[in-house]
Structure 1
Amino acid sequence: MQTMSAASERVRFLIIDDHPLFRDALHGAVRVAYPDVETVEAKSIGEALEVLGESSSFDLCLLDLNMPDVQGFEGLLQLRTRHPSLPVVVVSGHEEPRIISEALSYGAAGFIPKSVRKTDLANAIRSVMQGEIHVPENYRPQPADAERDDRAKMVQRLATLTPQQLRVLQMLRQGLLNKQIAYELQVGETTVKAHVSEILRKLNVYSRTQAVIEVSKLDNAELFREQAPF
């Protein structure tokens, strides 16, 4: 059986970017790589999740980090947690190694700077479609010592949580909503919201999704060392 070349292969991409000019640029780049590509646009993470809810049959998602309805990596985190089988490539104007490392740690299939030429962008997309993790040529992974430092800092932040906040965090990891947590703890939803806000502040994260993912990176030994009841 003869396989199709990239030029004739039919693929379907979801482009998530709130800037119409760059959406057009991405359209042009993906058509260089796959002339018969079908692209669907989304101008926000909320719109993208609606599109994916109606049809999850996409081969790749191209995501700008700076979206109007989320902060930081929240858009990437939502896409990865709700649609884990969908490869997501971050296409961003931010090219700092720390941002690239964090995007990859959250499951991005690649990171492409917006500053690259259209042909380089097309080549990067091809490489991801072939199963590679694409990063800029000048990118150097975060040193192992720095990664260990980040983990140690998170363990220290966990130690600042009160027993009740630890219980709330445990329930967040179980996927419970505020209403369900309030029922389990026999407190009001307002109290749960206050606990969640304080958890985010103490862990130095911007969303409950990021809190769950960051804590999940720690192994059981690290968690039990701080007597967190997970």
Structure 2
Amino acid sequence: MVADDHPLFRGALKTALSGMDGDSDIREAGDFEGVKALADEDVDLVLLDLSMPGVSGLSGLMTLRGMHPTVPVAVVSAHDDPETIRRALDLGASGFISKSAGMDEIRRAVGVILGGGIYTPEDIDLGLETDPEIADLIHRLQMLTPQQTRVLGMLAEGLLNKQIAYELSVSEATIKAHVSAVLQKLGVDSRTQAVIRLSRISADSIALES
């Protein structure tokens, strides 16, 4: 799946993928609702833009990983600084491809990921997280189960417990339990505080910090 809101860039990615060995069935999504609608366990790889209608930043990666934990997701972004790349990998991305990458590099990255590896751009020192608050947040987010991650993403969308329960086909009591667990793991007291903490890993905040 190629997920990007710019048709020209989706076309460039499709061209790169079509030049690889074997036949490819390529799905396209121009917004995050389309990503969620088209993604399923049959997808071998999602190439996900960090910023598109319906999502901002690494929260989209988290939501997708929560929905389909076994599907590899490679982040494709113009924000290709070490902080963004490292945080994407820490939150479950199987690779990072810069939007400035050429066709050969895109094909090489996709080949590495489909082979079960992790791809990062060459000659980049990812270093260590220098922001202690972000480091703590990522550690806490890593403790969430896939279902808790999905619930957190839906909280960020402003959905009520009964709406989340309907979307996930579970009881409202189950969602309340998930919300309580999410708040505890994030070390916050309210849904609002949880959403504010999650917003710290948005592409906008990363760009400002870089």
Partner of 2:119: 134
2:161 to 178, 194, 197: 178
With CA pairs under 8 Å and 6+ residues apart, which has the higher RCO, 1 or 2?
2
Verify: 1:43 aligned to 2:30, yes or no: yes
Please list, as runs of the form range in 1=range in 2, the aligned pairs for 1:1-230 lying within 5 A after superposition: 14-52=1-39, 55-143=40-128, 146=130, 149-150=132-133, 154=137, 178-179=161-162, 180=172, 195-201=190-196, 204-206=197-199
Alpha-carbon displacement from aligned partner over 1:163-204 (angstroms, at most 9, x marks no partner): xxxxxxxxx6795963547x969xxxxxxxx93113433xx3
TM-score (normalizing by structure 2): 0.68
For 1:117 and 1:174, locate their aligned partners in 2 and report how far apart those are by CA, in whole Å: 33
For residue 75 of structure 1, give the secondary structure of its aligned residue in structure 2: helix
For 2:193 and 2:117, locate their aligned partners in 1 and report how far apart those are by CA, in whole Å: 39
Task: Tell me how far 1:61 sits from its aligned partner.
Answer: 0.8
**Which residues of structure 2 form unaligned runs of 5+?**
139-147, 153-159, 163-171, 178-188, 202-210
Structure 1 vs Structure 2 CA RMSD: 3.3
For 2:38 and 2:137, locate their aligned partners in 1 and report how far apart those are by CA, in whole Å: 35
For 1:110 and 1:173, locate their aligned partners in 2 and report how far apart those are by CA, in whole Å: 20
CA contact (8 A) 1:32 1:119 kept: no
CA contact (8 A) 2:97 2:109 kept: yes
Query: How many aligned residue pairs are there?
Result: 166
Question: Given residue 59 of structure 1, which amino acid in structure 2 is its aligned partner?
Answer: D
Alpha-carbon displacement from aligned partner over 1:1-27 (angstroms, at most 9, x marks no partner): xxxxxxxxxxxxx11111000000000
CA contact (8 A) 1:33 1:123 kept: no
**Which residues of structure 1 form unaligned runs of 5+?**
1-13, 156-171, 186-193, 211-230
Identical residues among aligned pairs (%): 34
Question: Given residue 62 of structure 2, which amino acid in structure 1 is its aligned partner?
Answer: L
For residue 94 of structure 1, give the secondary structure of its aligned residue in structure 2: coil
For 2:80 and 2:191, locate their aligned partners in 1 and report how far apart those are by CA, in whole Å: 31
Instruction: Tell me: CA distance 1:64–1:153, structure 2 relative to 1, closer, same or farther (3 Å).
Output: closer
CA contact (8 A) 2:96 2:120 kept: yes
For 1:141 and 1:113, locate their aligned partners in 2 and report how far apart those are by CA, in whole Å: 14
Question: Given residue 130 of structure 1, which amino acid in structure 2 is its aligned partner?
Answer: G
Pick the structure with greater CA Rg: 1
